[in-house]
Amino acid sequence: MNIFGLGVPELLLIIFVALLFFGKDKLPELAQSVGRSFHELKQGFEGGVKGDKNDKKK
């Protein structure tokens, strides 16, 4: 399994370090915030691409 060029051991290490820094109580809030940010970023890119297509037609 390879996500963003990282294997399972690297992902587990990142999760472990995040637990050390933020604690188990804050981690779900942090994950939710990151998920929302990625969703907004994706929408922004899709909106930019759609806007570029409309600009070329003018």
**To 10 degrees, the CA torsion angle through 45, 12, 10, 2?**
-60
Q: CA of 56: how far to CAs of 20, 42, 46, 48, 50, in Å?
A: 50, 22, 16, 13, 10
In-domain check, residue 3: no
Instruction: Answer whether 1's CB lies under 8 Å from 10's CB.
Output: no
In-domain check, residue 4: no
In-domain check, residue 28: yes
Question: Sign of the CA dihedral 4, 9, 14, 18?
Answer: positive
pTM listed for this prediction: 0.51
pLDDT-based confidence at 2, cuts 50/70/90? low
Q: Which two tokens stand for residue 47?
A: 């909106």
Instruction: Encode pLDDT of 5-19 as tens digits.
Output: 888 889 889 888 988
Name the amino acid, one letter, at 17.
V
Number of domains the chain is built from: 1
